[in-house]
Structure 1
Amino acid sequence: MDKNLNRKKLMADLFKARFPFLYLSTWEEDRALEFIRSIASNHELIKTPRKLITWKVTNGISGDDLSITDTKSPLRALEYIEKFQDPAIFILHDFHVYFGNQGQLPDYQIIRKLRDLLSNLKQSQNPKNVVFLSPILKLPLELEKDITIFDFNLPTFKEIKNSLEEMIAVNKQRGRIEINMSDEEIEKLVKAALGLTLSEAENAFARAMVEDGKLSVDDVEVILEEKEQIIKKTGILEFVNNELNMEDIGGLENLKRWLRKRNKSWLESAQLYGLPSPKGVLITGVPGCGKSLISKSISEMWQLPLLRLDIGKIFSGIVGSSEENMRKAIQTAEAIAPSILWIDEIEKGFSGINSTGDGGTSSRIFGQFLTWMQEKEKPVFVIATANNISSLPPEMLRKGRFDEIFFVDLPTHRERIDIFRVHLKKRLKAQEVIGEFDISDYNLEYLAELTEGFVGAEIEQVVINGLFEAYYEDRSVRLSDFEKVCKQFIPLSVTQAEQIKKVREWANVRAVTATPREDRKEYFENADSDPEFDIKASRGGRTIDF
């Protein structure tokens, strides 16, 4: 059964059962009113059709066939509801302002009147229901047991698709906009708009059409810009604008293949195979080897919004607000799903979960986050990175939280070639700088040999420092510039040899290597012959090729 029809049936049942007060918290007044109107007049859903009567402080009681001008006062409006004899559903707009808000005391006279109205609504000869419609959910303590909260969700995939198809049909008729999209491309555009209100989605589609006079799958970027506005308003999550793609990252092909296979897994086509949306990955390994870079590049590959969660922003000095901040962050990520939630250096954020100094706040937030990761139904892909994974509690690492744990080790010879190629092509564009230097296989092989034990970030610095040598002497770059820097560089594999060895030992049986078997072949061949193989070549992580 259609989800929207299910929601209508549930609300119709509440009306028929004479639930006196219902509360809908939503920004979409018009859509909510249309939703209720479609129930009030539906003979199949509700036995006794009812009049739909609204109240606003600006114009008082009004309906399809009435307008009472002297009911702007909330008390007068409640008195009118009490005396009304016909079957009706009363919609009270923004009534939360009388329930107390932001340090203001509730209006007890109105609350008392609402409590007096309860028996009238339950026992009246003809059915009557009151619906509070507001963008803010606020319940007075005295009415908590009498008000039923009805979750009015954001528009469904079908609703947004219908709206988009209507816009396409209208614009095709007018012939002003070029529209040539396949069903899959339309689905991708609609999926990108999930999490927006219907009005926001329509605005985004309209903006995409008028920007270049056409509508295409490339306009996903416009949709993501609209979603960015939602993120900025939370103050907890950060919307990461990113143009980095997988081709900008050298190596890690095993992890890349795993991610490519799960691209579009949130689309309807994946459901034909009975596939769930992927939960997420935990990436651990040696610092500077590309964990954060590949986290950012997933957004570009999957064309999904990337949200960064700073655990430090979750914690607050006010008792109870940290838990509320975590709930708000989760709700926001789910509201704009499908999305990617990135937590960088997750072990630092949850380092104090076993301490008692914060009254157990860290433990509660951690438990809240774990429960959500285990039970989440919305397509929010969680990507977490960690340098010191041994400090994470075991419950986070078990299956069901993450789909896979990947280990990123020191780059292999082939990966170092790729990393050098990426950074050299990125920076060497002006012919006067390139001169006679050639990004040839020979030069890349030579540089890869010189940088054995270097992490990706260190290779980038080799390229930058080598270019500074040429810039200082105002000449074109030479191979000797990079050679000189390599010989002066002390890599992380030397300064943190013991820590890297520990990380590798942990990952050897608990994680999957991000580097494929063919790139690691050189190390397996040299393992027995090289006495210094322990730190220079030993590779952590199980060898599973995706």
Structure 2
Amino acid sequence: MIATGTQKKAKTLLANLLKARFPFLYIQTWEEDRVLSVIRSVAQDVELIKTPREVLTWRMTTGIIDGQGSSKDECKAPLKALEFIEKYDKPCIVVLQDFHVYFGGQGKLPDFQVIRKLRDMLINIKQSRNPKNIIFTSPFLNLPGDLQKDITIVDFDLPTFDEIRSVLDEMINVNEQSGRIQISLTGEEKERLAKAAMGLTLSEAENAFARAMVEDGRLDIHDVDVILEEKEQIIKKTGILEFITSELKMEDVGGLENLKRWLAKRNNSWLDSARKYGLPAPKGVLITGVPGCGKSMISKSISSMWQLPLLRLDMGKIFSGIVGSSEENMRKAIKTAEAISPSILWIDEIEKGFSGISNGGDSGTSSRIFGQFLTWMQEKTSPVFVIATANNISGLPPELMRKGRFDEIFFVDLPTKRERKEILKVHIKKRLKDPEVVGGFQLTEEVLENLAAKCEGFVGAEIEQLVIDGLFEAYAESRSIRLDDFEKAIINTVPLSVTQAEQIRSVRDWANVRAVTATPQEDREDYAKDSVAITIGPGSESNDIGEDVRFNRGGRTIDF
């Protein structure tokens, strides 16, 4: 395997620490075999380390195993193993696996004799005639206070894209020779498949590729979904992030063409092909607007369009009762999102998560977490696309909306007539599939025009509900659907544009100069140049308001 720049940098750092006689190094990793492979590679690379060294390993089940594979059973006890290492008189690197169990933690006291012995060995290791280093490897970072000044932590990242691609290529070559699995991948599709496995260990990636192959006897771009299912296991174990599995597609979202085009242009921008243009991976979008107009729906559909895992960050799980744990929860969530990148991180109703920033009622915890999130948004290099949705825009701190945090702020307004037609078509077609229920009803352009005109001022969620209410009218009488069923449902609905007129006006005033409209100009031609009239007619069963409600349309018009 050819070492990439990242791999070479990691090996060089490890070699320099070994040459500088750092006595104790600590590597947190689940990949014991992979880290041992890297250590052995460095130990024999005369260009990196000059003096080749033997690599010995220790486990409590096997004792010490030397470079020739011989086991020292008498060294299973930790103190015996340390005594053996102290007396060993050859250039060596000793890897102690799972030695952290003697360091205490999780309600257990440390083994003070072991810790004392390690401290006693410091001078011996540093002044040894032959170079000698001890490396602790463990899935968990657990350092006793007595040794914190003596142990150096070495980061060991998850496999790089090139390492995962190498595993994929090797598996493809083996299966092409056997002819048992049909491989149908272009060069770019192989890249997308390997990118999808980023954040998995080499073993997990290999398992995911193998599962994809055996499920249908072929490997193609559709197997990205299998890789994402493997990543779901990682998310479930955090307890903070939620892996969202959604069947929604962009075609299921009516209207918002401006936002859709913006997202479509940035699809695959985390692949190498985008680097030719000098493009960075997009940071994210903030979507605000009238409640019920499709912000959450389009957030879920991005995952399907981009074929990336969608992670929902529950701010309620970030804030916990133990002092200091909230900040650690946020770090854990960010680290997990980056580990499985490229990924999409969705924060729904973000204004509620940071509601305690201004009043300081939580001893500054909200402010610290908010600052932590802002710093990450500004400086992140991993391809984690952040989608934040907000209804009450006044609750958002101004720092969140500064350029550099999000790529763009989109405003989702009440749907235009053209958008209402699209939303009606989506929901009616999705539900009207049984011929007996359809009967003589035909969803013609004239029908859509009629319904769209009558439900002016309705948000997307209300349009969906009126379709459901219309179907209930037919279901209650055990007959096929009729146009007047939908018309009756419209009459019986008082939309948010009336009940929350002041709030909508406030959101539009804010968005008029700060956000880009998610609806393109051609769809906004239904409305007058400066305003839209929403008329609630008198005489309906549930509403006798009989007044016109007029709003200024919010959001700058920029066509993507």
Cα shift at 1:342: 0.3
Q: Does 1:541 align with 2:546?
A: no
Report matched runs for 1:51-130 at 5 Å.
51-65=54-68, 66-130=70-134
Change (3 A) 1:535 1:275: farther
Q: Does 1:262 align with 2:266?
A: yes
The partner residue of 1:136 within 131, 140, 154 is 140
Letter paired with 1:543: T
Change (3 A) 1:104 1:526: closer
CA distance in 2: counterparts of 1:470 and 1:529, whole angstroms: 32
The partner residue of 2:364 within 360, 363, 375 is 360
Cα deviation digits, residues 151-175 of structure 1 (max 9, x gap): 1000000000001000000000001
Cα deviation digits, residues 305-338 of structure 1 (max 9, x gap): 0000010001111111111111111111111000
CA distance in 2: counterparts of 1:309 and 1:494, whole angstroms: 32
The partner residue of 1:47 within 40, 47, 50 is 50
Secondary structure of the corresponding residue to residue 282 of structure 1: strand
CA distance in 2: counterparts of 1:19 and 1:530, whole angstroms: 74
**2:379 alignment partner in structure 1:** 375
CA distance in 2: counterparts of 1:400 and 1:534, whole angstroms: 41
**1:424 alignment partner in structure 2:** 428
Q: Does 1:191 align with 2:205?
A: no
The partner residue of 1:152 within 136, 145, 156 is 156
CA distance in 2: counterparts of 1:33 and 1:240, whole angstroms: 35
Cα shift at 1:354: 2.0
CA distance in 1: counterparts of 2:63 and 2:533, whole angstroms: 88
Secondary structure of the corresponding residue to residue 377 of structure 1: coil
Task: Tell me whether 366-375 or 292-301 shows the greater mean CA deviation.
Answer: 366-375
- Contact 1:493-1:536 within 8 A present in 2 as well: no
**1:4 alignment partner in structure 2:** 7
**2:419 alignment partner in structure 1:** 415
CA distance in 1: counterparts of 2:316 and 2:72, whole angstroms: 52
CA distance in 1: counterparts of 2:529 and 2:494, whole angstroms: 26
Q: Does 1:302 align with 2:316?
A: no
- Contact 1:451-1:486 within 8 A present in 2 as well: yes
- Contact 2:514-2:555 within 8 A present in 1 as well: yes
**1:333 alignment partner in structure 2:** 337
- Contact 2:512-2:556 within 8 A present in 1 as well: yes
The partner residue of 1:14 within 8, 11, 17 is 17
- Contact 1:523-1:537 within 8 A present in 2 as well: no
Q: Does 1:513 align with 2:517?
A: yes
Cα shift at 1:530: 9.9
**1:285 alignment partner in structure 2:** 289
CA distance in 1: counterparts of 2:548 and 2:483, whole angstroms: 30
CA distance in 2: counterparts of 1:393 and 1:293, whole angstroms: 24
Task: Tell me whether 59-68 or 236-245 shows the greater mean CA deviation.
Answer: 59-68
CA distance in 1: counterparts of 2:438 and 2:460, whole angstroms: 22
Secondary structure of the corresponding residue to residue 381 of structure 1: strand
Cα shift at 1:529: 9.9
- Contact 2:533-2:550 within 8 A present in 1 as well: no
Cα deviation digits, residues 199-237 of structure 1 (max 9, x gap): 000000000000000000100000000000000011110
Secondary structure of the corresponding residue to residue 384 of structure 1: strand
- Please report the RMSD computed on the Cα atoms of aligned residues, expressed in angstroms: 1.5
Q: Does 1:462 align with 2:466?
A: yes
Secondary structure of the corresponding residue to residue 362 of structure 1: helix
Cα shift at 1:368: 0.8
Q: Does 1:209 align with 2:213?
A: yes
Cα shift at 1:357: 2.5
CA distance in 1: counterparts of 2:400 and 2:549, whole angstroms: 28
CA distance in 2: counterparts of 1:428 and 1:49, whole angstroms: 73
CA distance in 1: counterparts of 2:465 and 2:532, whole angstroms: 32
The partner residue of 1:253 within 252, 257, 260 is 257
CA distance in 2: counterparts of 1:149 and 1:528, whole angstroms: 62
CA distance in 1: counterparts of 2:463 and 2:534, whole angstroms: 24
Percent identity, aligned pairs only, is 70
CA distance in 1: counterparts of 2:548 and 2:468, whole angstroms: 30
**1:180 alignment partner in structure 2:** 184
Change (3 A) 1:164 1:26: same
Cα shift at 1:538: 2.8
- Contact 2:530-2:553 within 8 A present in 1 as well: no
Stretches (4+) displaced over 6 A: 528-534
CA distance in 2: counterparts of 1:489 and 1:214, whole angstroms: 51
Secondary structure of the corresponding residue to residue 433 of structure 1: helix
CA distance in 2: counterparts of 1:225 and 1:112, whole angstroms: 46
Cα deviation digits, residues 71-117 of structure 1 (max 9, x gap): 01111111111111110000000011111120111111111111111
Letter paired with 2:449: E
Change (3 A) 1:535 1:375: farther
CA distance in 2: counterparts of 1:300 and 1:417, whole angstroms: 23
CA distance in 1: counterparts of 2:311 and 2:75, whole angstroms: 46
Cα shift at 1:453: 0.4
- Contact 2:532-2:553 within 8 A present in 1 as well: no
Report matched runs for 1:484-523 at 5 Å.
484-523=488-527
CA distance in 2: counterparts of 1:266 and 1:219, whole angstroms: 19
- Contact 2:25-2:152 within 8 A present in 1 as well: yes
CA distance in 1: counterparts of 2:136 and 2:377, whole angstroms: 32
- TM-score with structure 1 setting the length: 0.98
CA distance in 1: counterparts of 2:191 and 2:528, whole angstroms: 46
Cα shift at 1:525: 4.2
Change (3 A) 1:529 1:541: closer
Which stretches in structure 2 are left out of the alignment for 5+ residues?
A: 537-546
Letter paired with 1:274: G
Cα shift at 1:280: 0.4
Letter paired with 2:59: K
CA distance in 2: counterparts of 1:248 and 1:255, whole angstroms: 14
Letter paired with 2:11: K
**1:239 alignment partner in structure 2:** 243
Cα deviation digits, residues 456-489 of structure 1 (max 9, x gap): 0000011000011111111111111111111121
CA distance in 2: counterparts of 1:355 and 1:76, whole angstroms: 58
**2:541 alignment partner in structure 1:** none
CA distance in 2: counterparts of 1:100 and 1:20, whole angstroms: 21
Secondary structure of the corresponding residue to residue 52 of structure 2: coil
CA distance in 2: counterparts of 1:353 and 1:535, whole angstroms: 35
Change (3 A) 1:49 1:427: same
Letter paired with 2:183: I
Which stretches in structure 1 are left out of the alignment for 5+ residues?
A: none
CA distance in 2: counterparts of 1:541 and 1:410, whole angstroms: 12
Cα shift at 1:523: 1.6
Cα shift at 1:341: 0.4
Cα shift at 1:526: 7.1
Task: Tell me whether 59-68 or 260-269 shows the greater mean CA deviation.
Answer: 59-68
CA distance in 2: counterparts of 1:377 and 1:266, whole angstroms: 11
CA distance in 2: counterparts of 1:263 and 1:346, whole angstroms: 24
